[in-house]
Chain A
């Protein structure tokens, strides 16, 4: 049995096909849960945001611009919902959970450099605060303002940290 690509599923969803929607959900929920979970410490909030995201996918499937990956489109919806949700109410113990408390051994450092290249190592050498800003703006594709809302810091701080991160990365990778 041939599996339909995501783009086809979205087209079917635009048509009201509930089963295509169930399939899309099955494919994309796991990674979305994990990725959002790495940016927010409250599982309840993440569950809510994920729910909202998929309902939004159902309702606006026709508005996908057919460019790029469907996963990226879904991520765009999801991260923005998370930003909105965090703006409304930050969970009490919300810290920069993403990178807190992760230790890398010397060997892993080497492995990282080999497997994932210099960028990975350079990124790892940044402080958690700088890394978070880079991740939010570069990897997650958020604007300065959205990144500020996500991280709970003023937009100005986002800008300065980005500048410092860029400078540091340029240095490391030179």
Chain B
């Protein structure tokens, strides 16, 4: 028994759109089942159209999947390429953020209980964002670090946008924990400028040492200075109005230094063996 197929004339007329309705209906029903006749139609379709559509399809199919943070960034006007780089930053991982939130929540809760813990919160608060920056650059956590070092993309620019991304994510978490504190809302924001100052200082130090080391140095110095005063019960020297201005100056100064030494940063990033 021979298998029934559409004859070439029918295929031609159908493809050209000039087949009478009965023929068209029959052809369409047949095409649903017959690969050979489907193939025969391809000679009637404009090749350029096929290619053009394929190009679009391939592009959309290949396009990297965008998570919500990335889409948000693009909508905010951040370049699509930059948004991709930010999205690949290690610290945006949920578990790490959860850890920061938990630690600070505990500190905030403890502050409700005892005044001393309130001071502990202020000491710990800047460490959250700083730890984020540290993790964003710890070689072990960025698997493509080595490849990135040999790439023309400015190492400093990468450092800065990742730091900004980490800040944008960790600062609100810390702030939220701070708002849960009893009493005035001053402690909830008192740590912001010191954090800015410390971060800028760490970034400036990357001109002289690896980012991981720079952050470590700054964080350690901070704890060494503030912990004793916190235990002694006086944090004013570090957080009062005058001190806030000092922190602002540190942030601005460090930022300027960083701009001035930006060229040396790129080479220092690859220091480790």
Contacts and interface: CB of A to CB of B under 8 A. Distances in A.
Direct contact of A and B (CB under 8 A): yes
Interface of A: 6, 18, 21-22, 25-31, 33-35, 37-38, 47, 50-51, 54-55, 58, 69, 71-72, 75, 98-99, 102, 104, 108, 112, 116, 119-121, 123-124, 131, 135, 139
Interface in B119-167: none
A102 B35 contact: no
A31 B38 contact: yes
The 10 closest A-B pairs by CB, nearest first: A120-B22, A30-B42, A124-B22, A30-B41, A30-B45, A116-B26, A104-B20, A54-B57, A31-B38, A58-B61
Given A34-B14, A139-B29, A123 B21 contact: yes
Contact of B22 (A34, A50, A116): A116
Nearest to B50: A29
B24 interface: yes
A99 B19 CA distance: 9
B17 to A, nearest CB: 6
B273 interface: no
A20 to B, nearest CB: 12
A27 B52 CA distance: 16
Contacts of A119: 22
A21 B57 CA distance: 10
Interface of A is mostly: helix
B38 A28 contact: yes
Given A33-B49, A34-B41, A112-B23, A51 B56 contact: yes
A22 to B, nearest CB: 8
Given A35-B31, A71-B31, A139-B28, A30 B21 contact: no
B24 A38 contact: yes
Given A38-B17, A99-B21, A123-B25, A50 B53 contact: yes
A33 B57 contact: no
A51 B20 contact: no
A112 B14 CA distance: 14
A27 B23 contact: no
7 contacts: A25-B57, A30-B41, A30-B45, A31-B38, A55-B57, A121-B22, A124-B20
